């Protein structure tokens, strides 16, 4: 409900949307207000107006929420890397749980029989993967390295980032100084960050060759700050180590399962290694693999779930759309002595149908971990020989809800449990996990 006070429109915030914006209603429209929290009475200034909704900046706070806190980051509100630092960390998790439940009901018309307790860990310095933008700014006389600003194409002028690992966060302005000194500073648009357990890798995306002086400057930086540089000239497949060449390989571990996972800096891994360990543990517990079972791991990537399931003794088939990832997953299975019961194959999972699924044979259980687009073709392809149990790991509650609608209303499953995992604290990103079981006749 809205009210007028002088020239200001005042509204009460009802909830948060999937981008972390406050939702209110005024004059028959939905108003999305950046920086507003549930329960607050606020004024706003709209910068985007449509017939049914408006998007607005937060104006004045008449009644602040008990969930409101002072953002830790000095760049909050300018940098586009975070959108929820003004909200208590525990309240963020509760809000994400509500977003998950709202999506499941309003999109999928399903409700979980059990709401899983949320999974969360450290809230600062957690981010081990990042794609940083680079831009030389003539007016400032320097090169900026960081995330893009909240609105627009400019790179935020960051002195430090509170969610990157502390070592990488401290390097941001120093990397700017390094690139400012290079002959190709205007032909270096991006740095990919990959932090492993034994090495920190920075992949420089270069559009022109380095000069000899550039190469020496990069070597000096690597020696001084104990990082490894890779160079990428075109697509991700061109990324290769530059200096030092004797650095240990990138890897992360899953100690509960006795697994080490090497990876290349351009290959997908979770940004939050601590949360990944907890997520894998929860997924395997929900799946409950047994030695006599045959299990499919869809969108398996490097084998993040495949190998832990195999460690429990089941026969696992990891299916992935990328031939390069299939090869890497096979190598990881060999490295961890799991090749006997973890096999991998390449398939286009966005075009799979029931006939292709049948050719793979019977699976007792499945784990599905798709990208943001979800797994709609896969769930539609499930036929009469569908598994008794499915664990679905999602990075997009809307596509999870859409796929859950098919599983529950068309394929005969029950949504036994669902809950959030706070993989990205202080952002609006919602990671979740759901357990589906065949309904008993």
Q: What is the DSSP string of 260-277?
A: EEE--TTS---S-HHHHH
Segment (H or E) for 171: helix 166-180
270 is in an annotated binding site: yes
- Residue 8 pLDDT class (50, 70, 90 cuts): low
Mean pLDDT for all residues in the chain: 95
Expressed in angstroms, the distance from the first to the final Cα of the chain is 47
- Supply the pLDDT for residue 6: 43
Instruction: Report pLDDT digits (tens) over 321-361.
Output: 999 999 999 999 999 999 999 999 999 999 999 999 999 99
What does the pLDDT read at residue 441? 56
| pLDDT, position 277 | 97
Classified as helix, coil or strand, 178 is: helix
* pLDDT value of position 1: 54
For 99-111, give the DSSP string. HHHHHHHHTT---
Domains in the chain: ranges and CATH: 2-63 (2.40.50.140), 93-122+272-438 (3.40.50.150), 129-243 (2.40.50.1070)
Cis amide bond preceding 308, omega within 30: no
* Contacts for 122 with CB less than 8 Å, ≥ 6 apart: 274, 425
| Residue 79 annotated as part of some ligand binding site | yes
pLDDT tens profile 78-88 = 999 999 999 99
Which pLDDT does position 440 carry in this prediction? 78
Provide the greatest CA pair distance for the chain: 74
User: 278-330 pLDDT, tens per residue?
Assistant: 999 999 999 999 999 999 999 999 999 999 999 999 999 999 999 999 999 99
**223 has binding-site annotation:** no
Question: What DSSP element (H or E) covers 127?
Answer: none
Rounded Cα–Cα distance for residues 16 and 95 (Å)? 7
**pLDDT at residue 265 tops 50:** yes
Exposure string over 348-364, b if 16+ CB within 10 A, otherwise e: ebeebeeeebeeeeebb
User: With bands split at pLDDT 50, 70 and 90, how would you rate the model's confidence at 9?
Assistant: confident
To the query of whether residue 300 is one of the catalytic residues in this protein, the response is no
Residues 6+ apart with CB under 8 A from 32: 17, 19, 21, 22, 23, 53, 54, 55, 56
Q: What is the rounded CA–CA span in Å between residue 264 and residue 232?
A: 12
Say which range, 60-64, 210-214, 279-283, 400-404, has the weakest mean pLDDT. 60-64
Q: Is 131 exposed, middle or buried (0-12, 13-18, 19+ CB in 10 A)?
A: exposed
Give 129's Cβ-side CA count (13 Å radius). Answer: 18
Burial per residue of 231-266, b for 16 or more beta-carbon CB atoms within 10 angstroms, e otherwise: bbeeeeeebebbbeeebeebbbebeebebebbbbbb
Asked if the model's pLDDT at residue 369 lies above 90, the reply is yes
Tens digits of residue pLDDT in 18-40: 889 999 999 899 999 999 999 99
Query: What is the pTM assigned to this prediction?
Result: 0.94
Give residue 435's pLDDT band: very low, low, confident or very high (50, 70, 90): very high
Choosing from 87, 338, 395, 430, which is the catalytic residue?
Answer: 395
CA-closest candidate to residue 169, choices 206, 138, 132: 132
Tokens of 337: 């002595």
Q: Is 332 annotated as a binding residue?
A: no
Query: Any idea what DSSP says for residue 44?
Result: E
C-alpha to C-alpha distances, 282 to 164, 261, 328, 388, 436, nearest whole angstrom: 25, 18, 24, 18, 14
Residues 363-387 have a mean pLDDT of 96
324: left (phi over 0), alpha (psi -120 to 50) or beta: alpha
**pLDDT value at 229 more than 50:** yes
pLDDT for 7 equals: 43
Q: What integer pLDDT is reported at residue 150 of this predicted model?
A: 87
Sheet architecture: strand order including 431-438: 114-115, 413-421, 431-438, 389-394, 365-368, 294-298, 315-320, 342-346
Q: What is the pLDDT of residues 44-90, one digit of tens each?
A: 999 999 999 999 999 999 989 999 999 999 999 999 999 999 999 99
Residues 118-137 have a mean pLDDT of 95
348 annotated ligand-binding residue: yes
Cα 132 to Cα 204: distance, rounded to the nearest angstrom = 10
Three-state SS for 421?
strand
Tell whether 292 is in a known binding site.
Answer: no
Share of the chain above pLDDT 90, in %: 94
Q: Which residues contact 431 (CB under 8 A, 6 or more apart)?
A: 275, 279, 393, 394, 395, 420, 421, 422, 423, 424
DSSP 154: P
Split at pLDDT 50, 70, 90, the class of 406 is: very high
């Amino acid at each position: 409900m809205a009210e007028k006070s002088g020239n200001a429109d005042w509204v009460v915030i009802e909830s948060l949307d999937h981008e972390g914006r406050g939702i209110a209603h005024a004059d028959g429209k939905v108003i999305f207000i950046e920086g507003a929290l549930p329960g607050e009475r606020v004024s706003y200034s709209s910068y985007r107006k449509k017939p049914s909704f408006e998007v607005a900046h937060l104006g004045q706070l008449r009644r602040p929420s008990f969930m409101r806190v002072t953002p830790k980051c000095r760049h909050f509100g300018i940098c586009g890397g975070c959108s929820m630092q003004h909200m208590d960390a525990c309240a963020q998790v509760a809000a994400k749980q509500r977003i998950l439940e709202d999506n499941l009901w309003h999109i999928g018309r399903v409700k979980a029989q059990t709401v899983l307790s949320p999974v969360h860990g450290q809230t600062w310095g957690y981010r081990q993967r990042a794609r940083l933008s680079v831009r030389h700014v003539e007016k400032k006389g320097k090169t900026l390295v960081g995330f893009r600003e909240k609105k627009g194409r400019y790179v935020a002028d960051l002195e430090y980032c509170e969610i990157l690992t502390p070592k990488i966060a401290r390097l941001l302005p120093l990397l700017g100084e390094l690139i400012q000194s290079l002959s190709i500073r205007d032909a270096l648009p991006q740095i990919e960050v990959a932090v492993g357990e034994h090495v920190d890798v920075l992949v420089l995306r270069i559009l022109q060759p380095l000069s000899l002086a550039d190469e020496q400057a990069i070597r000096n930086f690597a020696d001084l700050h104990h990082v490894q540089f890779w160079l990428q000239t075109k697509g991700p497949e061109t990324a290769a180590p530059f200096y030092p060449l004797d650095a240990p390989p990138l890897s992360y571990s899953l100690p509960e399962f006795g697994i080490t996972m090497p990876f290349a800096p351009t290959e997908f891994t979770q940004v939050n290694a601590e949360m990944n360990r907890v997520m894998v543990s929860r997924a395997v517990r929900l799946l409950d693999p047994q030695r006599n079972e045959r299990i499919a791991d869809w969108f398996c990537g490097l084998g993040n779930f495949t190998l832990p399931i195999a460690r429990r003794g089941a026969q696992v088939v990891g299916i992935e759309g990328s031939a390069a990832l299939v090869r890497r997953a096979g190598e990881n299975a060999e490295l961890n002595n799991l090749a006997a019961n973890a096999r991998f194959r390449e398939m286009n999972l966005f075009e799979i149908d029931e006939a292709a699924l049948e050719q793979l044979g019977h699976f007792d259980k499945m784990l599905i971990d798709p990208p943001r687009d979800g797994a709609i073709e896969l769930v539609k392809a499930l036929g009469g020989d569908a598994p008794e149990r499915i664990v679905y790991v999602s990075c997009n509650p809307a596509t999870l809800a859409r796929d859950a609608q098919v599983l529950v209303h068309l394929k005969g499953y029950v949504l036994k449990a669902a809950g959030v995992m706070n993989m990205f604290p202080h952002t609006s990103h919602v990671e979740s996990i759901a357990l589906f079981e065949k309904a008993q006749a």
